[in-house]
Structure 1
Amino acid sequence: MFIDIGKPIADAVNTFVEWLIINHGHIFEAIGNALLTVLVPIDQTLRGAPPWAIILAFGAVAFAASRSWIITVAVAILIWMIGNLGLWEQAMQTLAIILVSVCLAIVIGIPLGVAAARSRFVQSLLNPILDLMQTIPSFVYLIPGAMLFGLGKVPAILATVIYATPPLIRLTDLGIRHVDHEVIEASRAFGASRWQILKGVQIPLALPSIMQGINQTIMMALALVVIASMIGARGLGETVLVGLQRQEPGTGLLGGIAIVILAIVFDRVSQALGRRLQAYRTAGG
């Protein structure tokens, strides 16, 4: 009744991955080493710095983003609470992975979103890819990463970037497309080039949407933390995984609380920064 096409597909994929590793393994090794060159100093700095310095740094970033003492104090207290849970080092490991992953997602996502907004062809090319990326279960991303880069933080970063970038691309595209055409036409009338219009009109007006995309990227990156621990990413996800493996719900709960705290901190700070940038743009306009 059924034609078995599953085994040929699986065999073909296995053969392709094996061919990649044998013939182009040096490329994946170079990519992994480049990521580690960035990640290791950040990880060592965060883990080696005194906790009070990290707390002050979070407070300074929160104040710079929000200009609100309430948000600043709340962020500092929340980060201090992670230390009280006994998960400071794990949180710093997770933070290093999140910082590298989100920066890579921003570098990839915003230019692709801009390209999609300015070209129907690019948008039609990207949409099915983004649909596929957002449909595939997050755990599946770890399989090719682990096969090509081995276990550890490098495949976790790459899986996180792939998983978390689509909302940033879509929201950047959406924000630029929704910029008022009359404003764009007025800029053209004053002789502005396409690059000047993009830099001085479209991106500033699309900033709320772009910041929302960055916020969603950060939240999705944190959501992948627990899953990435299955391939040796360590951090807070490992704490949750250990609690599950040892049937210690209390340990898993502590890791979950710490992840939620980081999510709240990143969410509040990124949203506050988005509001400030929008208010600044409105006042300047």
Structure 2
Amino acid sequence: MDFLLEFPSLGRSDLSALRRGIDGTFREFTRAWGESIENFFDPLLAFLVWFEKLLQATPWPIIILILAGLAWAGSRSWKITLGSVVAFVVIGFLGMWEDTMSTLAIISVATFLCILVGIPLGILMARFDRAQAIITPILDVMQTIPSFVYLIPVVMLLGIGKVPGLLAVCIYALPPLVRLTNLGIRLVDKSVMEAAEAFGASNKEKLFGVQIPLALPNIFAGINQTIMMALSMVVIASMIGVQGLGVPVLRAISNQYLALGLMNGLAIVALAIIFDRVSQTYGKRLQSYREAGHG
């Protein structure tokens, strides 16, 4: 049965007029404010381009040494560190180094932006129930709406390029970090908070000296999920001009290049596994320190 027959007061012409009104309003908004919004994001674009060129220009042994150091610092595991080194050597050997560096640049910047926005939002949600009631439905929409849908306004506002792709990645990857930061702070033992109050700690001291340190395992779990979701957006972001491993995958899909698609897809998987293992292991170490502290 036609849905409109159940609501005769809302005719097809009314719906068409409503859609045209929304489209017209948004077009006027983009014409009036599009250039100002682009100018606002210029410093971010400049930093992203600089960081990408830096990674691509740096000799590969130095990059691998830095990444191995970071993997060791996070995981304290020779297996994970050696696996990371081998993965990047294979990526370079197969001719995917530049694309991998481009992907690494956008994932790093997107994760940094998500941390910059997500942790304060999570803290705000944990401190104020009203903020949680307002932000939670927004996070629900961000997580459930298909990525192609929010690409439309982003591209209309900012066109095709790195910044629209970066924003799309951030929109998709931000919610887990906000939710888990909020959860981690709310799960802090009340008796610990009461002890902090008994010692005369201020709200700021309780937040930065007690709640955030105890919530770190949850926060790092959120960062882990954010990185994973950002990597899963690489191929979709390549559709709006983001360079990296997603571009050859998209080309492989369009032209049925199986080998090209598999190699670049496996490179994305390798990055995901490395980031996942390092951040998960670091989170577990934080958890064990916290449990040892409680013990």
TM-score range, shorter chain: over 0.9
Q: How big is the shift at 1:53?
A: 1.1
Which residue does the alignment assign to 1:164?
173
Secondary structure of 2:160's counterpart equals coil
Give the structure-1-normalised TM-score. Answer: 0.95
Which residue does the alignment assign to 1:249?
258
Task: Identify the match of residue 246 of structure 2 among 222, 230, 237.
Answer: 237
Which residue does the alignment assign to 2:52?
43
> CA RMSD of the aligned region, Å?
1.5
**Which amino acid in 2 is paired with 1:18?**
R
Distance in structure 1 (CA, Å) of the matches to 2:247 and 2:45: 19
Which residue does the alignment assign to 1:140?
149
Q: How big is the shift at 1:282?
A: 4.5
Query: After superposition, where does 1:113-132 map in structure 2 within 5 Å?
Result: 113-132=122-141
Secondary structure of 1:206's counterpart equals helix
Which residue does the alignment assign to 2:233?
224
Distance in structure 1 (CA, Å) of the matches to 2:67 and 2:94: 18
Q: How big is the shift at 1:32?
A: 2.7
Distance in structure 2 (CA, Å) of the matches to 1:6 and 1:52: 60
Q: Closer, same or farther in 2 for the Cα pair 1:244/1:6, shift >3 Å?
A: farther
Distance in structure 1 (CA, Å) of the matches to 2:227 and 2:18: 34
Which residue does the alignment assign to 1:71?
80
Task: Identify the match of residue 276 of structure 1 among 282, 285, 289.
Answer: 285
Q: Does 1:104 align with 2:113?
A: yes
Secondary structure of 1:221's counterpart equals helix
Q: Closer, same or farther in 2 for the Cα pair 1:6/1:272, shift >3 Å?
A: farther
Secondary structure of 1:185's counterpart equals helix
Q: Closer, same or farther in 2 for the Cα pair 1:9/1:204, shift >3 Å?
A: farther
Distance in structure 1 (CA, Å) of the matches to 2:175 and 2:111: 12
Worse overlay, 116-125 or 270-279? 270-279
| Deviation sequence 1:116-172 (CA, Å, 0-9, x none) | 011110000011111111110122222111111110111000011111000111111
Q: How big is the shift at 1:199?
A: 0.5
Q: How big is the shift at 1:196?
A: 0.6
Which residue does the alignment assign to 2:8?
none
Distance in structure 2 (CA, Å) of the matches to 1:42 and 1:107: 18
The answer to whether the 8 Å contact 2:184/2:219 transfers is: yes
The answer to whether the 8 Å contact 1:171/1:212 transfers is: yes
Q: How big is the shift at 1:283?
A: 4.7
Q: Percent identity?
A: 52
Which residue does the alignment assign to 1:24?
33
Give the structure-2-normalised TM-score. Answer: 0.92
Query: After superposition, where does 1:193-212 map in structure 2 within 5 Å?
Result: 193-212=202-221
| Deviation sequence 1:92-118 (CA, Å, 0-9, x none) | 111111111111011110000010011
Secondary structure of 1:86's counterpart equals coil
The answer to whether the 8 Å contact 2:80/2:274 transfers is: no
Which residue does the alignment assign to 1:14?
23
**Which amino acid in 2 is paired with 1:88?**
W
Q: Which consecutive residues of structure 2, in runs of 5 or more, have no partner in the other structure? A: 5-10
